[in-house]
Amino acid sequence: MPDITPHDLESVLRDWDGEASVARFDRESGAWIFIALHSTVLGPAVGGTRMRVYPTPADGLRDAQRLGESMTLKWATLEQPVGGGKAVLALPGPLDAEARRGLLRRYGGLVESLRGAFGTGEDLGTTPEDMALLATVTRYVHGVEGGHVTDPGPFTARGVRRGIEAAVRSVLGRDDLGGVTVLVQGVGDVGYPLARELADLGARLLVSDVDAGRIERAVTTLGATAVLPEEAWDAPCDVFAPCAIGGVLSASTIPRLQCRIVAGSANAQLETADDEARLAERGIVYVPDYVVNAGGAYAFALLGRGERDEARLLEHMDYIGEIVDAVLAESKSQGSSPLAAAGQRVSRALARGR
């Protein structure tokens, strides 16, 4: 869990600065449905739907809120007229296929009843099939068009690759990834396509994952070197790319990192606000998660405007590299952290929207 302090639903609802938290208990499945609407300053809220088992409902709500805020920052970074929100389907335990479909249908009904205040798409724990099902119940699903479902993973991955290239240029002074060592933590929907691109570019690839099958795939098809999940923190590398769960950069992991750059697709990578300074003290350049991982969101924005061609959509992900370039340049010239520089970009965009 991202947070270490235990909390209850009441305090989680009270202590948030977002606009509203929607909650519904789904009696049939025992799951909680949370939709955290963080900010509609730039437009109606759009963010993915995450489904996973949480120790308590409050942990699920807290996750939705943090991720909803990340979406506000992401859309503002992209300068898109979209607000930030996120949905979490907090399961008490694993669901069978039938129960899962039932939950998704009822969740879709809730989204539809919000009449566009929240739009959604795929995220950790949900699949293209889930999105296709949701789209039969609500209009407010992104990436589903006439039976075709767009997986945001490869677009997010292309954006992260562009961001890594920009960071490697800025920090290591190198124009290509040949021989650059990248550790990809989590080789799933985003981490795997990212690892494949990095391998094609001649990077030295280290991979870790809690799922043995995913490791096997990366090792056999990409020639990656496997690192045990618990040893990922200590592995010497140029770039550490968190592409699994959030909260991985913490007081306990940062002192162990042996990298120069952190840039990956996971949302909410810093466990606490202090972790950014911890990284800086160690001389590690942290590329803000919501900047480098914005490719999936950007792809949905372009799809919404009628861009259907996959190759062209992938080319559009160059924009993520340009933003990372600009953020790192601003951070260098101001002597501020990349997170502070990115925050200024967000503030400028939000001020224009107000």
Give the interface with ligand PHE as residue ranges (CB under 6 A). 46-48, 120-123, 142, 152, 267, 296-297, 300
Residue 265 CB, shortest distance to ligand PHE, in Å, is: 8
The catalytic residue positions are: 86
Closer to ligand PHE by Cβ: residue 152 or 288: 152
**Angle subtended at Cα 48 by Cα 134 and Cα 206, rounded to the nearest 5 degrees:** 120
- 52 alpha-carbon distance from chain centroid: 15
Provide the H-helix boundaries in 78-203: 97-113, 128-135, 153-167, 191-200
Q: Which two tokens stand for residue 24?
A: 């519904």
Residue 298 CB, shortest distance to ligand PHE, in Å, is: 8
Residue 152 CB, shortest distance to ligand PHE, in Å, is: 4
Closer to ligand PHE by Cβ: residue 152 or 321: 152
Q: What is the C-alpha separation between 190 and 309, in angstroms, rounded?
A: 20
Comparing CA positions, the residue from 7, 39, 43 lying closest to residue 20 is: 39
Residue 126 CB, shortest distance to ligand PHE, in Å, is: 9
The DSSP secondary-structure symbol of 178 reads T
Q: Write the burial class of residue 76 (CB in 10 Å: 0-12 exposed, 13-18 middle, 19+ buried).
A: buried
Residue type for 198, please? L
Closer to ligand PHE by Cβ: residue 87 or 328: 87
